[in-house]
Amino acid sequence: MSTAESPVGAHKGRRTSVRRIRRVPLLLLLVFLLLFFIGIAVDEPARVLEQARSVCLPCIGIG
């Protein structure tokens, strides 16, 4: 029985036709999603909002 005819070979043949899922972007998405939710959990958005609502004088070249 040749490899191509064997169930294992057939299985391998099917696997090559399946689109490979890239793991790195999925992993990165998970990591940054985790950071995002950690930020929400420690109430960082409220601090960001507070900062963004006021004029940052050094940022505009004053002070």
Nearer residue to other proteins within complex by CB, 1 or 52:
52
Give the containing element (helix H, strand E) for 24: helix 23-41
Sole binder of other proteins in the list 1, 4, 8, 55 (CB under 8 A): 55
Examine residue 36 and tell whether it contacts other proteins (CB under 8 A): yes
Rounded Cα gap, residues 7 and 15, in angstroms = 12
Q: Are 18 and 25 in contact (CB under 8 A)?
A: no
Residue 18 binds to other proteins (criterion: CB under 8 A): no
Residue 35: both structure tokens together: 């950071």
Q: Where does this chain bind other proteins (CB under 8 A)?
A: 19-22, 24-25, 28-29, 31-40, 42-45, 47-49, 51-53, 55-63
